[in-house]
Amino acid sequence: MENHDKQDLYLVCPYVTAQKVVAGKWAVVVLHHLSGGTLRFGQLQRLMPGLTQATLTKQLRALESSGLVRRQVYPQVPPRVEYSLTPIGQAFRPVLDSIAQWGEKYIAYMQQR
Amino acid sequence: MENHDKQDLYLVCPYVTAQKVVAGKWAVVVLHHLSGGTLRFGQLQRLMPGLTQATLTKQLRALESSGLVRRQVYPQVPPRVEYSLTPIGQAFRPVLDSIAQWGEKYIAYMQQR
DNA sequence: CCGAATCCTTGAAGATACTG
DNA sequence: CAGTATCTTCAAGGATTCGG
């Protein structure tokens, strides 16, 4: 997910770019929760039962390296790590909102069949 | 991608729902192109060099079974197959728009570093 | 022209166990 | 508390070939 030559459309087509960033299965859910404000690792985990620590860590690292999430470590015992959205991560909120709206519509539409 | 029990959040959390529908690597790009109007298979393919026939077919079938895309076959020789957005597929346009806007922002942001 | 049918490779996702 | 470190699995993505 790091190496991009001229052949792929990363950093050319915005849809491809977004696809890559949000590719992770839990990416949008994480971004949604973080759009409500800074959260600790454990808080995020409790908000999303269904993924393991390892999976959540990987997803957060991916979002961090994409530049959407900031990871702040407080050198304490016990450890304390806080996650929050960067400015470009905050800019993703309109996408989250429209996804939520469409998702509701889609759920309703699917249930009435 | 068909079987959903109560344990996953499909048809519960709109973000998870959207994630599943748009999971395919080319899903949003296809939806984007179709949002401009009906297109034949070959036209779609020409718009997206970089994926093979087989891959495009699979992606289109996935979107069709999700209910976002309609597939219309004209029994001719040579064959003619047209793809278009269903109503719920049309409803996805706001998401596409916000994705495009954010994607542009992200690309600009990444290039200036 | 628009696929279907195979086979293959890759890597994301998760389960599990251990640690500063 | 917030991770690492492995191992396994499973299906998406793609290459290739064939067909109506």
Instruction: List the CATH number of the domain containing B56.
Output: 1.10.10.10
Give yes or no for residue B10 having a pLDDT over 80.
no
Residue A43: inside a domain: yes
User: Would you say B95 and A102 are in contact if contact means Cβ atoms under 8 Å apart?
Assistant: yes
Give yes or no for residue B3 having a pLDDT over 60.
no
pLDDT at A5: 41
Range of the domain at B22: 6-112
pLDDT at B17: 95
Residue B1: inside a domain: no
pLDDT at B6: 38
CB contact under 8 A, A88 and B105: yes
Burial of A101 (0-12, 13-18, 19+ CB in 10 A): middle
Give yes or no for residue A4 having a pLDDT over 50.
no
B12: nearest Cα among A36, A29, A33: A29
- pLDDT per residue over A20-30, tens digit each? 999 999 999 99
**Residues in chain B whose beta carbon is closer than 8 A to a beta carbon of chain A?**
7-9, 11-19, 21, 23, 25, 27-29, 32, 50, 67, 88, 91-92, 94-107, 109-111
The residue type found at A25 is K
pLDDT at A62: 96
- pLDDT per residue over B41-92, tens digit each? 999 999 998 899 999 999 999 999 999 999 999 988 888 999 999 999 999 9
Give yes or no for residue B7 having a pLDDT over 50.
no
Give yes or no for residue B112 having a pLDDT over 60.
yes
Give yes or no for residue A6 having a pLDDT over 80.
no
- Using DSSP, state whether B14 is helix, strand or coil: helix
Q: In what order do the strands lie in the sheet with B39-40?
A: B39-40, B80-85, B69-74
Which residues of chain A make contact with B99, given a CB cutoff of 8 A? 14-15, 18, 95
- pLDDT per residue over B30-54, tens digit each? 999 999 999 999 999 999 988 999 9
Q: Return the higher-pLDDT residue of B3 and A74.
A: A74
Number of domains present in the structure of chain B: 1
Q: Which residues contact B28 (CB under 8 A, 6 or more apart)?
A: A15, A18, A19, B22, B96, B99
Give yes or no for residue A34 having a pLDDT over 80.
yes
A71: nearest Cα among A95, A53, A89, A54: A89
- What's the whole-number average pLDDT of chain A? 91
Residue B72: inside a domain: yes
| Least reliable range by pLDDT among A4-13, A55-64, B15-24 | A4-13
Respond yes or no on whether the N-terminal peptide bond of residue B78 is cis (omega within 30° of 0): yes
pLDDT at A100: 97
Nucleotide nearest to A79 (CA to C1'): D1
pLDDT at B8: 58
Give yes or no for residue A105 having a pLDDT over 80.
yes
**pTM, full prediction:** 0.92
Respond yes or no on whether the N-terminal peptide bond of residue A75 is cis (omega within 30° of 0): no
Residue A1: inside a domain: no
